[in-house]
């Protein structure tokens, strides 16, 4: 069913198709249903979505990890969008109806329409399609935050990036390579060529190789300057021992769990190491706005000229959100998984 739009949104309710769930569970709990469109607040853009990014936080929310179906700014799942502005709030600056935008939302992107605070939106470069733009915001903003704002990666330094074939991992490899860093990356062996294509210098098969041993050999035992980790407890000790003097590690995910980790305090102390954690979903709107703006100021030009690019694994019609979640849970994806509303998803 297509979105019902009116010429006078203030006096007549708009409706839209959205993905909802009534109980926590597997991908099958996701269903398509007609709901009310979001109301536009003073700083909001109302966007007709062309592409919606699927993120691991969406899977966690569906399973009940946050304790409730509704989280943040919307009644439906979803953290990022790309599309066309159809309405603007009275305090919006720099955007107008008809603009092509992409960005981070506080929730509610699994729908035909989404509202987004204009301070978390970015103009889509003319050279980038709206579908490709749907694969940019969350992964590149997160990767930039981890690599540069927290870890302070510099040209000529070295970085170890885990899960390098995933959405954030593939973005991090591209940004680190574009900065002039030496990039070590872990991925399954069947994804090696793809990760090399993102700009990795050394790809380590996490199934058959010990990444710490490979890093030690390749750096003459010195280690890397930065580690970007998505795995958690199983990698913690080896991550820390893979850092050189003054090294920085940023934890972005816990794919391997949080329990049973061993932190080698001798390495932390005597090598003057720093360990950071970052997550986007639960941050305040002000922090998210700053994160988006930092990325946009430094990298939108690189996106426009092709220095960095969206990496899309697969796309599904909005109504097939369950299949998209199953694809992510399979661990087979290389890059982003997208939902496409309306005609774009058919």
| pLDDT reported for residue 68 | 60
Q: Are 72 and 281 in contact (CB under 8 A)?
A: yes
Domains within the chain, CATH numbers bracketed: 15-136+284-345 (3.90.180.10), 139-277 (3.40.50.720)
Tokens representing 134 are: 């749907």
Tokens of residue 178, six digits: 């574009």
Per-residue pLDDT of the chain in tens (346 residues, 90 and over written 9): 444 443 334 435 689 999 999 999 999 999 999 999 999 999 999 999 999 999 999 999 999 887 765 556 777 899 999 999 999 999 999 999 999 999 999 889 999 999 999 999 999 999 999 999 999 999 999 999 999 999 999 999 999 999 999 999 999 999 999 999 999 999 999 999 999 999 999 999 999 999 999 999 999 999 999 999 999 999 999 999 999 999 999 999 988 999 999 999 999 999 999 999 998 877 888 999 999 999 999 999 999 999 999 999 999 999 999 999 999 999 999 999 999 997 655 4
The whole model's pTM is what?
0.91
- Rounded distance, CA 142 to CA 295, Å? 9
Enclosing H/E stretch for 304: helix 285-305
Cα 75 to Cα 1, 31, 47, 210, distances in angstroms: 19, 14, 16, 43
Residue 342 pLDDT: 77
Is residue 170 within a helix (H) or strand (E), and if so which, with residue range? helix 167-179
């Amino acid at each position: 069913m297509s979105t019902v739009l009116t010429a006078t949104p203030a006096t007549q309710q708009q409706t839209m198709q959205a993905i909802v769930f009534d109980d926590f569970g597997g991908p099958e709990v996701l269903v398509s249903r007609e709901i009310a469109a979001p109301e536009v607040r003073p700083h909001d853009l109302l966007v007709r979505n062309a592409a919606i990014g699927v993120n691991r936080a969406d899977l966690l929310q569906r399973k009940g990890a946050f304790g409730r179906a509704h989280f943040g700014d919307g009644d439906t799942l979803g953290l990022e969008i790309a599309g066309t502005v159809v309405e603007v709030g009275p305090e919006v600056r720099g955007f107008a109806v008809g603009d092509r935008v992409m960005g981070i939302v506080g929730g509610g992107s699994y729908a035909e329409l989404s509202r987004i605070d204009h301070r978390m939106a970015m103009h889509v470069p003319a050279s980038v399609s709206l579908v490709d733009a749907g694969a940019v915001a969350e992964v590149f903003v997160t990767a930039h935050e981890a690599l540069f704002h927290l870890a302070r990666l510099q040209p000529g330094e070295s970085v170890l990036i885990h899960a390098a074939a995933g959405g954030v991992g593939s973005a991090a490899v591209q940004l680190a390579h574009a900065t002039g860093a030496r990039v070590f990356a872990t991925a399954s062996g069947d994804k090696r060529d793809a990760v090399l294509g993102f700009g990795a210098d050394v790809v380590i098969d996490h199934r058959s190789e010990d990444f710490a041993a490979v890093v030690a050999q390749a750096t003459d035992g010195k280690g890397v300057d930065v580690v970007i980790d998505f795995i958690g407890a199983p990698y913690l000790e080896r991550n820390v021992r893979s850092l050189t003097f003054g090294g920085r590690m940023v934890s972005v995910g816990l794919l391997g769990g949080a329990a049973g980790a061993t932190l080698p305090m001798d390495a932390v102390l005597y090598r003057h190491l720093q360990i950071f954690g970052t997550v986007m979903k639960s941050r305040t709107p002000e922090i998210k706005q700053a994160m988006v703006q930092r990325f946009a100021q430094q990298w939108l030009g690189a996106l426009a000229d092709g220095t960095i690019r969206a990496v899309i694994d697969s796309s599904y019609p909005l109504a097939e959100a369950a299949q998209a979640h199953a694809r992510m849970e399979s661990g087979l994806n290389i890059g982003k998984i997208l939902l496409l509303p309306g005609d774009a998803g058919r």
